[in-house]
Structure 1
Amino acid sequence: MKFTLKTVFLFCLFINIIGCKKEKEEPNIDTTEKTSEVVSEFKVPVEYYKLDNGLKVILSQDKTSPTAIVAVYYNIGFRNEPKDRTGFAHLFEHMMFQGSENLGKMEFIQLVQKNGGILNGSTRFDFTNYFEIVPSHKLETMLWAEADRMKGLAITQDNLTNQQGVVKNEVKVNVLNQPYGGFPWLDMPQYANTNWYNAHNFYGDLKDLDAANLEDVDKFFKTFYAPNNAAISVVGDFDTEQVKNWIQKYFGNLSASELPDTPDISEPRQEEQKEFTKDDPLANKPAIALAYHMPDRNTPEYYAMGLIDQILVQGDNALLVQKLENEKGYTSSVAGGINYLGNMFNYKGPMLWMYNFTYDNETSRDDILVSIEEVMTEISKGVSQEMIDSAIIKMRSKLYDDLGGTFGLGRADLLCSFALFDDDPNRINSIEEEFKKVTPELITKTIKEYLRPTNRTILTVNPLLTNAENTKS
């Protein structure tokens, strides 16, 4: 969910770390060693600890600008919402802005905006998150406000009924009444996955949304919106000891909850290709998406898939882009990646690597698949170290942009994600090294297992509106 907020000036902090190769003139061992040190010297400052109630706290100081970010991540997302309450995790994200003990309905938003800040919240596969970006001298106010709504919400029938209507309208506007609505980010998991937790409609069935009651909301809040199910990161210009005191003061006395057993969200190995067609009366031309189940997170193959993604779909030099856009002219834009609702780092459970594009009605779907197969056959023969090095450069560039952009919001995101899922936010400083371990042999092994046709799901959008118009003409 995206709130429409008063905008303030935003800037991106670009961190340029350039690994330079020596020219062929006289080699200098000392200079080479110094260059290597420069390349690896950038580290995100991380201080990690836990309160007695289980709240995970990550502090990352950055004096670049007089701003601060407060990000609170709760370990509850689409995957582990109640089975008879689809869309409940998303519904509850809305409820968090309806008032708390000391802040009335929508006053949280007003508090941030009137103090010169911006805010947002979203529901993802494995977490629900909230953040505020404010002038650093307003940091204590934001910590107080986040603790106030973690302590307790204004759970009333009026608020629930209102937000049920808001969410249902959001589904209608963003999915049901939009061409390609939900394609492929919402659709593909339902087709490619078999485990209910990964395959149900994340936005929620409208009947399930209507069935939610006050008891459901109260139980959900007391269970999942507790300090022992959350992580908070503070990034920006602040005094570390002062922030520690504030966090202890406002969050330290909040009670932990009794968390339920973690549901089994594993996916079985896919053994045969799946193909589906979605009729879309609002689409004006066909579209196609292809998805493959990812390796388990943090495995060597997982990092290899990150580089395969760069080689195949990211950037103008990507192989599928070159084939489908430049050589064949089937489409003007191939989009794709790992985790359409975030990035390849901020999720926990099973994930799909996917890409999609629209194409002209005159283009044959079979011709498209033949061209894709040509690319996949070629890459399965092996990749060079040069291709891997190029992929690492693209990956590193994107990573550093994320870490520095929007006042460091990407940094706050990864710190909370790694704390929630790995109990180790310092992983943020080892990401690049993990990609450097990937070899051509590992790439080939990963392609053989994870990019096999029997691990693939193909979803095609059928533009009914165009078909009807063609029939009339």
Structure 2
Amino acid sequence: MKYKKLFLMATCLAWLAGCTPTEEKQESASFQVPVEYYKLDNGLKVILSQDKTSPTVVIAAYYNIGFRIEPKDRTGFAHLFEHMMFQGSENLGKMEFIKLVQQNGGVLNGSTRFDFTNYFEIVPAHKLETMLWAEADRMRGLDITQENLSNQQGVVKNEVKVNVLNQPYGGFPWLDMPQYANENWYNAHNFYGDLEDLDAATLVDVQNFFDTYYAPNNAAISVVGDFEIEDAKKWIEQYFGDIPSAELPESPDISEKPQTEEKRFEKEDKLATKPAIALAYQMPERNSAEYYAMGLLDQILVQGDNSLLYKELVKENGYAANVNGGINYLGNMFNYKGPMLWMFNLTYDNTTEADSIIQSVDDVISGLEENGVTQEMLDNALVKIRSSLYDNLGGFFGFGRADLLCSFALFDDDPSRINNIESEFKKVTVEDVNRTIKDYLRSSNRTILTLKPTAETQN
């Protein structure tokens, strides 16, 4: 996993340039992301979104395989395979894909998430055809050799050691909490992978994984930016159209049973000098009214220095310097498919008791439940989440838009949902939010994980 959050915050003012204040208000309220969606005969989902404000294009390839459904005896395999995708294909040798992008003034990356593995390039607009050809070349077939596999097994194991095993707070809480809070193996195993499982991967495993999950009928391609629609369609058909589809396996059951009792766990960290705590609540079903209500509650409770938990835990009690939190620590509340946690965490001084922090959290949530969320609080949350949404859509040269388009294509077969997000939040009523507090922010729906420092020097 090369990054946890790729949405670099940027504004959408370019879309509104030249408007008077009244026009700006009307334009921002009615702005629609251009979406042209179709499928190739081999099942590849294609989403085109033209935006000529910058002479660049984003090409994003998303595959419907993430941490959740990797083989049970090959933990970390989805992530290992992400690395394999940069090791060469039929017409591009080892690392030549990366050189191709960088030598043409572009940037690229890839990541493995809960429900997808993605690859993207941002390049000057006139290099669109080149990058479509390159993405198709590695979708068509990788250079799968023992040398490449052994090399990347070493790279991934080193990444696990550097980012998790030999790092204070390594994996806390984004990697740890799902393993404690969830019951279904698909949601609860070590996504980064056990080192023994990584070592056990064979060439046959790699080839079977590629043939099964990296087929066009298990993928979505989005193009966002400065390009001509007909040119893009022609090149996509030319380079991707004859890649054969695959017979996809039946999707496993990734559902979680409703949580009925609070869970508490403690983890020791020999490198940490201060304790930390994370609280996670099971999320409502994706796209339900309660799901959108939780998005607004996230804004009310943890997002920004005007949030209730920030005020209580940081400003009032001084337990921590900050409170981090959100829905889906490996992305955002829109780019996942299965069960999810709403979570927040903080580090605190050794003189503070974890129970004091938990009691303060309970005071805030019980106060919300007793007094109810007001319309003013809801309106402020709508402003914050709308700002965050448009930052994401405009961020990183349009990658935020490409991400949501591919996610909605993969999970909903409907990338135009990108234009309904704001209206769905506006449908949420005070009654919806107050009901969601009672149903989902109850102590019996949460898991508490405390990290105990065991380093010799503690402050």
- Secondary structure of the structure 2 residue equivalent to 1:132: strand
Q: Report 1:205-244 matches (<5 A).
A: 205-244=194-233
After superposition, what is the alpha-carbon deviation per residue over 1:112-157, rounded to whole angstroms, capped at 9, x for unaligned?
0000000000000000000000000001000000000000000000
Q: Quick one: distance in 2 between partners of 1:249 and 1:294?
A: 42
Given that 1:15 and 1:404 are in contact with CA atoms closer than 8 Å, whether structure 2 keeps it comes out as no
Aligned length: 450
Given that 2:14 and 2:53 are in contact with CA atoms closer than 8 Å, whether structure 1 keeps it comes out as no
Q: Quick one: distance in 2 between partners of 1:164 and 1:445?
A: 48
- Alignment CA distance shift 1:194-1:257 (3 Å): same
In the other structure, the counterpart of 2:67 is 78
The structure 1 segments of at least 4 consecutive aligned residues displaced by more than 2 Å after TM superposition are 10-18, 34-40
- Secondary structure of the structure 1 residue equivalent to 2:70: coil
Given that 1:223 and 1:257 are in contact with CA atoms closer than 8 Å, whether structure 2 keeps it comes out as yes
In the other structure, the counterpart of 2:276 is 287
- Given candidates 192, 217, 228, the residue that maps to 2:181 is 192
After superposition, what is the alpha-carbon deviation per residue over 1:372-431, rounded to whole angstroms, capped at 9, x for unaligned?
111011111210011011001000101101111111110000000000000000000010
Q: Quick one: distance in 1 between partners of 2:91 and 2:9?
A: 33
- Given candidates 386, 397, 400, the residue that maps to 1:407 is 397
Q: Quick one: distance in 1 between partners of 2:359 and 2:74?
A: 42
- Alignment CA distance shift 1:303-1:448 (3 Å): same
The more displaced of 378-387 and 151-160 is: 378-387
- Given candidates 147, 154, 158, the residue that maps to 1:158 is 147
Q: Quick one: distance in 2 between partners of 1:80 and 1:148?
A: 25
- Secondary structure of the structure 1 residue equivalent to 2:399: helix
In the other structure, the counterpart of 1:443 is 433
In the other structure, the counterpart of 1:278 is 267
Provide TM-score, normalisation by structure 2. 0.96
Q: Report 1:15-34 matches (<5 A).
A: 15=13
How many angstroms does 1:369 deviate by?
Answer: 1.3
Q: Quick one: distance in 2 between partners of 1:229 and 1:469?
A: 50
- Secondary structure of the structure 1 residue equivalent to 2:432: helix
In the other structure, the counterpart of 1:7 is none
Q: Quick one: distance in 1 between partners of 2:27 and 2:171?
A: 44
Name the amino acid aligned to 1:137.
H
After superposition, what is the alpha-carbon deviation per residue over 1:162-209, rounded to whole angstroms, capped at 9, x for unaligned?
000000000000000000000000000000000000000000010000
In the other structure, the counterpart of 1:361 is 350
Provide TM-score, normalisation by structure 1. 0.93
Q: Quick one: distance in 1 between partners of 2:189 and 2:457?
A: 33
- Secondary structure of the structure 1 residue equivalent to 2:127: helix
How many angstroms does 1:15 deviate by?
Answer: 3.5
Name the amino acid aligned to 1:280.
D
- Secondary structure of the structure 1 residue equivalent to 2:230: helix
Name the amino acid aligned to 1:179.
P
- For structure 1, the 5+ residue unaligned runs are 4-9, 19-30
In the other structure, the counterpart of 1:256 is 245
The more displaced of 400-409 and 166-175 is: 400-409
Q: Quick one: distance in 2 between partners of 1:12 and 1:391?
A: 19
**Is the counterpart of residue 348 in structure 1 residue 337 in structure 2?**
yes
How many angstroms does 1:213 deviate by?
Answer: 0.1
- Given candidates 434, 441, 454, the residue that maps to 2:424 is 434
Name the amino acid aligned to 2:222.
S
- Given candidates 310, 327, 335, the residue that maps to 1:321 is 310
In the other structure, the counterpart of 1:25 is none
How many angstroms does 1:38 deviate by?
Answer: 3.4
Name the amino acid aligned to 1:2.
K
After superposition, what is the alpha-carbon deviation per residue over 1:423-442, rounded to whole angstroms, capped at 9, x for unaligned?
00000001000000111111
Name the amino acid aligned to 1:270.
Q
In the other structure, the counterpart of 1:394 is 384
- Secondary structure of the structure 2 residue equivalent to 1:356: strand
**Is the counterpart of residue 299 in structure 1 residue 288 in structure 2?**
yes
Q: Quick one: distance in 2 between partners of 1:2 and 1:207?
A: 21
After superposition, what is the alpha-carbon deviation per residue over 1:339-393, rounded to whole angstroms, capped at 9, x for unaligned?
0000000000000000000000011212111111110111112100110110010
Name the amino acid aligned to 2:156.
V
In the other structure, the counterpart of 2:361 is 372
Name the amino acid aligned to 2:419.
N
Name the amino acid aligned to 2:112.
T
Given that 2:9 and 2:391 are in contact with CA atoms closer than 8 Å, whether structure 1 keeps it comes out as no
Given that 1:198 and 1:265 are in contact with CA atoms closer than 8 Å, whether structure 2 keeps it comes out as yes
How many angstroms does 1:17 deviate by?
Answer: 9.1
- For structure 2, the 5+ residue unaligned runs are none
In the other structure, the counterpart of 2:83 is 94
Q: Quick one: distance in 2 between partners of 1:302 and 1:103?
A: 43
In the other structure, the counterpart of 1:21 is none
In the other structure, the counterpart of 2:98 is 109
Q: Quick one: distance in 1 between partners of 2:13 and 2:247?
A: 42
- Secondary structure of the structure 1 residue equivalent to 2:377: helix
In the other structure, the counterpart of 2:375 is 385
How many angstroms does 1:2 deviate by?
Answer: 2.2
- Secondary structure of the structure 1 residue equivalent to 2:385: helix
Given that 1:301 and 1:442 are in contact with CA atoms closer than 8 Å, whether structure 2 keeps it comes out as yes
In the other structure, the counterpart of 1:202 is 191
How many angstroms does 1:40 deviate by?
Answer: 2.4
In the other structure, the counterpart of 1:454 is 444
**Is the counterpart of residue 422 in structure 1 residue 420 in structure 2?**
no
- Alignment CA distance shift 1:35-1:159 (3 Å): closer
- Secondary structure of the structure 2 residue equivalent to 1:388: helix
Q: Report 1:137-152 matches (<5 A).
A: 137-152=126-141
**Is the counterpart of residue 59 in structure 1 residue 57 in structure 2?**
no
- Secondary structure of the structure 1 residue equivalent to 2:234: helix
Name the amino acid aligned to 2:428.
V
Given that 2:9 and 2:392 are in contact with CA atoms closer than 8 Å, whether structure 1 keeps it comes out as no
After superposition, what is the alpha-carbon deviation per residue over 1:266-307, rounded to whole angstroms, capped at 9, x for unaligned?
000011000000000000100000000000100000000000
Given that 1:15 and 1:400 are in contact with CA atoms closer than 8 Å, whether structure 2 keeps it comes out as no
Name the amino acid aligned to 2:87.
Q
After superposition, what is the alpha-carbon deviation per residue over 1:239-268, rounded to whole angstroms, capped at 9, x for unaligned?
100110000000000000000000000000
Q: RMSD across aligned C-alpha pairs, in angstroms? A: 1.7
